[in-house]
Amino acid sequence: RPLGALFTPQQTLFRVWAPTASEVTLLLYPTGDPAGEPVQRRKMEPEDKGFYSTLLSGNLAGVYYAFEVKVADTTLFAVDPYAKSVGVNGWRGMVLDPVSANPPGWEEDAPLAAVTRPTDAVVYEIHIQDFSSDPASGIRQKGRYLGLSEGGTVTPFGEATGLDYLEQLGVTHVQLMPVYDFSSVDEETGGYNWGYDPQNYFAPEGSYATDPYDGRIRVRELKQAILALHQRGIGVVMDVVFNHVADSEAFSFNRLVPGYFSRIRKVKGKKVYSNGSWCGNDTASERSMVRRYLVDCCEYWAKEYHLDGFRFDIVSLLDTETVNAIMARVKQVNPCCLFYGEGWKVDSDVTKKEAVLAGQETSALTPGFGFFNDTLRDGVRGSLFDASAGGWLAGKEEFVPQLKDCIRGNAWWCPQPDQAINFVSCHDNLTLWGKLAQVFSDRSPEFLRAANRLAAAMVFFSQGMPFLLGGEELFLAKEDGNGGYDPNSYNVTDGRNRIPWSSLSQPEVRQNRDFYRDLIAFRKAHPLLRLGSKQQIDAALTFLDTEGCLIAFTLSDPAVEPGKLLVALNPDPAPVKLSGFDRCRVLLCQGWKQSKEDTLTVPGLGFVAAEVG
């Protein structure tokens, strides 16, 4: 049976699940002010199986509400976990009439159907505030949802920014860092945070809205941003953080049913929250009503906000049955929806022995769900845990075998290419430029720029789904002000995270932007780089016998694309000659010069992609 505030213009049914409660009371408020007093109290009627409900007549759209719950000798206050919108700072749910919150044109909008396979996608990660906050962005609604919907914006020197920039770059999807309601930014005074501290999962964050006090505004403006992206042919992926909540004691579900939403173990007779997330608590996704909640949540966002994908933070704290249930339900709404996330191995105290946690090690149990490919990232850049340690780009031959596996879309944990999310930077840890600057601290900026391009080439020439951090192509560095680079800038307010639109005044930055644009276009133009199965790849891809760190391979499948592609990537400083490729046409390259000999020369710290005759 449905939960939450079930609105019609004639009446609203409120239903909540609180099986351990002896009494539940509905509280109604005229505003979302957390200090306000209720204007009406209504005792809810118990149903079977722990549900409580009450039906109120009239049009209650815009009315705020909460629940008062008596459990044993304690009375607890709780926001509705299913609240579709909330008041300022998320302490009051709001009865939402979704139609009244729709922007013009929303009824004609739908999830994009142009990208039918993950391997055809190119995902660009952005933070709502960082996307527009650079003074040179030309965007009026800086730091707001509406900043994503502005077209025709340019820097003071005439370079496209914002929505136009995304369309020109050629990405197929943007991944929005958390836009559900989170607790770390005071919506009345403002602030900055990435938002990985969930408070209300079904409601949008208010600090990105022009008015955080009216729960309808945040809904309308987020939809307006999604609509604008869809009108440019760009899909929208939502970053969801289901593995933990901001405050386990204060979280609404745990107030309605104390301790149910989170994993708890006993230590010396005391209850202790499992903490595999390193955020103080882990979500007990294996419990039936928690699983239902997460499935309902994703279905709601997919249906109501026309989403095109979900990125899961530390999905390896969720069980495989829940992950598969989410995918199955959402694909009924949008068959082309993308699903991927962080699959690092973590430990958690699951409440059911039979529960199997999702992740890289169990990827075969969640077919169609992708995982961030740290095998490729660390192979190219070097260790995540030692800023100065280099990888393949630094001439480390030991990384060549694992990178060849990644090029095949078949890292040790990856049975199919649609499960490989290939990347060399994201919001976490050092940016690509920051890492390169640490590894090659004695090298010139020109060298670092070439290394950046070669790293990107590895991502886009590998089978799987390419992913990049917004600003990577503009050499986003996240300098910490002390001569170093910030690996964890989740709450820094000095602008170091923002997309550096101002840097487009520099010709070398514009050149790199154009390089990424060409790389994306090249991948789109060549289906051989976007094969859909391991079987296809095994038949089409052949590695050449090479020495050192040079990696070269051919791709050929007449059923997919006429002709044969040759790709050669060389991180070594000296050029390398490939014999037997006198009849080829160079299509894309970095640092390549025509050789008069009967060979193809792969430049030092460069690559060549050619059509073989």
Encode pLDDT of 92-121 as tens digits. 999 999 999 999 999 999 999 889 999 999
Mode of pairing for the β-strands spanning 561-570 and 606-612: antiparallel
Contact 456, 474 (CB under 8 A): no
Give the model confidence (pLDDT) of 36-76 as tens digits. Answer: 999 999 999 999 999 999 999 999 999 999 999 999 999 99
CB atoms within 10 A of CB 440: 16
Provide the pLDDT for residue 595.
59
Give the model confidence (pLDDT) of 444-495 as tens digits. Answer: 999 999 999 999 999 999 999 999 999 999 999 999 999 999 999 999 988 9
From CA 329, how far away is CA 308, in angstroms rounded? 14
Provide the pLDDT for residue 594.
60
Give the model confidence (pLDDT) of 343-398 as tens digits. Answer: 999 999 999 999 999 999 999 999 999 999 999 999 999 999 999 999 999 999 99
Give the model confidence (pLDDT) of 409-421 as tens digits. Answer: 999 999 999 999 9
pLDDT of 496 above 80: yes
Provide the pLDDT for residue 269.
84
Provide the pLDDT for residue 440.
98
- Concerning whether 354 is annotated as a catalytic residue, the answer is no
Give the model confidence (pLDDT) of 205-225 as tens digits. Answer: 999 999 999 999 999 999 999
- Mean pLDDT (the chain, rounded): 97
Contact 583, 612 (CB under 8 A): yes
Mean pLDDT for the stretch of residues 195-202? 99
Percentage of the chain beyond pLDDT 70 is 99
Provide the pLDDT for residue 267.
85
Binning pLDDT at 50, 70 and 90, where does residue 598 land?
A: low
Give the model confidence (pLDDT) of 118-171 as tens digits. Answer: 999 999 999 999 999 999 999 999 999 999 999 999 999 999 999 999 999 999
Domains of the chain (ranges plus CATH)? 4-106 (2.60.40.10), 532-612 (2.60.40.1180)
Q: What is the CA radius of gyration of the chain?
A: 25
- Concerning whether 342 is annotated as a catalytic residue, the answer is yes
Mean pLDDT for the stretch of residues 272-286? 96
Q: Which helix (H) or strand (E) holds 433?
A: helix 432-439
From CA 122, how far away is CA 473, in angstroms rounded? 14
pTM of the model: 0.97
Mean pLDDT for the stretch of residues 257-286? 94
Provide the pLDDT for residue 592.
65
Annotated catalytic residue within 125, 342, 472, 473: 342
Annotated catalytic residue within 313, 321, 418, 472: 313
Binning pLDDT at 50, 70 and 90, where does residue 268 land?
A: confident
Mean pLDDT for the stretch of residues 292-297? 99
Provide the pLDDT for residue 579.
85
pLDDT of 191 above 80: yes
Provide the pLDDT for residue 599.
78
How many helices and strands (H and E) does the chain possess? 12, 29
DSSP string over 4-73: EEEE-SSEEEEEEE-TT-SEEEEEEESS--TTPPPSEEEEPEE-GGGEEEEEEES--TT-EEEEEEEETT
Which long-range contacts link 599-604 to residues 24+ away (Cβ below 8 Å)?
A: 600/566, 600/568, 601/575, 601/576, 601/577, 602/550, 602/552, 602/568, 602/569, 602/570, 602/575, 602/576, 602/577, 602/578, 603/570, 603/575, 604/570, 604/572, 604/573, 604/574, 604/575, 604/576
> What are 175's strand-pairing partners?
125, 237
